[in-house]
A and B are shown apart, each in its own frame.
Chain A
């Protein structure tokens, strides 16, 4: 036993564990090779310090050492690497930080040039796999395509066609993401995605509120008065609709589940708003005029009786 372990750490044999740790820390700070990258003797010294601490810093081993069961060399510190040995090697490139002296470039032409090359080199060495970039597209679709769903072919810049499935109920401004249809990945990374922004065109008759569809259907005076069965268009084909006798303009009838049928959502409804349209009144002859006048006299009716009630004007 050459130098005692307590001597190496500069503590007395009756020091407390806290004192030993404090002494070790102080010495380790001064001699740790990674905290003193330029000090060639640091490694030797630190090895001795940490070997000593490995024994007398450990309660059990310290007891055995004090009782003479193990000697100072009994517990060799295992061979361990220090980072400074790797600094400057190829493995260290990941951790190089050239930006920390970027300001040198302002003051020295030489450093400006070295920095420029270092940055270029970093770009060159960026061989890690990286995902490809996303590609953005804009696709206008008709109202009916968006409401019913369908398929579209999108011409790609490279001349190929991309099949785009449009789900029923797609909204204006929504984007579709086609995984892996963007730019190819770098160094084996995954391809980017194609992001397709959808713009939905308007329809002349159909209007949309969420998954509900509304449409205004003109009916004749006779159909309104006597009731009728008429045919109305829906997203899913023509349907018969029964108009009750005495219907008015503005009245709304519901065709249940005839709106947008989007996957995973309750189907919407179609609302049919009636709009009473008079026939060509220039063809009204004296017969009908007399009949209307005499009927109105017997059944007075103020169409605007309740119209403004409770409304501030």
Chain B
């Protein structure tokens, strides 16, 4: 393409991969700790961290064109609307689950 994107050294990708595998292990380990209601917060928090690493490094959000951030961010903005409005709906329903 000659996108102008300066590629990161391969070692950085390997380190990122090791961190991702390690985080998967941590997520698996915490699942057996009996964290109760906090378990999904920890597990999905780890998943979000992994997703951020993949988006920034493996999907090259870091680097030109910077307009990528706007396009990638728009998906999450709409997802925020979806989750926000839908949660409001379910949280204010009477008798749910019926």
**Are the chains A and B members of one assembly?**
no
Query: Could you tell me which B residues sit within 8 Å of A by CB distance?
Result: none
Query: Could you tell me which A residues sit within 8 Å of B by CB distance?
Result: none
